[in-house]
Amino acid sequence: MIRAQLYELLTHNITFDIPFYTQSLHSKSERILELGVGTGRTVAPLLTQGYSCTGIDNDPHMISFCTQKYKTLQLHSTNITKFSLDDRFHQIQAPLRVMHVLSQKERAGTLSCIKKHLLTSGHAIFHISSWKGTDLDGQWRLYSIIPSSDGGEILIEEAMYKDESHLHILHRFQQISPHHHVSSTHIKHTKLYPILDFMRELDEAGFLAQTLYQDTSNLFILANIK
């Protein structure tokens, strides 16, 4: 399985965050830019509703996946820390864990690019995660079981641990045949940066920020240019 297929298996059932990307939109004429578009999970509902959406990703597997799946999605293969497009947007969104793959210096570059690509009346939406209370002992735990097309199933397990500077998330994908034999195994390793005070980073980058929603694991922020 290629990276895009693995990522799709991990994220296709995540829907709790979708309303945060739709509630601040007012007209179908508004243009949306998504950073780290991945397999298009969070832009898909917006495309269905008739919005004009553009996605950025530097992974060619993700770009190829989205090109085949979403015919109306405009795509750019570029780095979100230094992108330059010939358009300005009403909404720029950075969904689940996108900002966490960046160092603080890289996040500053991304915020600078966002400012350059937002309309004066536009806004940005960020999803920041917290792993307080999460087991970070490196032990494998069941994440999901998904039926496969051959009558078997795909078993997904997750393990998490921290070092001095990063949070590491491992996913193990096991293809189980209808006869209960493991036919293939894939490991996906994601390295994330904890974000301690993103509100301060936004302020220093020239944004006015407000909390849309917060719980023990998730923080959704809406930001406007000062």
Q: Kindly report, residue by residue over 39-82, the tens digit of the pLDDT.
A: 999 999 999 999 999 999 999 999 999 999 999 999 999 999 99
d(C-alpha 37, C-alpha 109), whole Å = 18
Residue 36 makes CB contacts below 8 A (sequence gap 6+) with 56, 57, 80, 94, 95, 98, 101
Q: How far is CA 137 from the centre of its chain?
A: 24
pLDDT of residue 6 exceeding 90, the answer is no
Asked whether the predicted pLDDT for residue 1 surpasses 60, the reply is no
pLDDT for residue 190: 94
How many Cβ atoms are within 10 Å of 30's Cβ, its own excluded? 17
Task: Tell me which DSSP letter residue 137 carries.
Answer: B
Mutual angle of helices 60-69 and 3-11, in 10-degree steps: 70
Whether 201 has a pLDDT exceeding 50, the answer reads: yes
What pTM was estimated for this model as a whole?
0.93
Contact by Cβ (8 Å): 80, 100: no
DSSP 78-106: S-TTS---S--EEEEEE-TTTGGGS-HHH
Strand partners, 34: 55, 93
User: Locate tokens 């079981």: which residue?
Assistant: 145
CA distances from 155 to 37, 87, 149, 175, 210 (A): 25, 42, 14, 7, 39
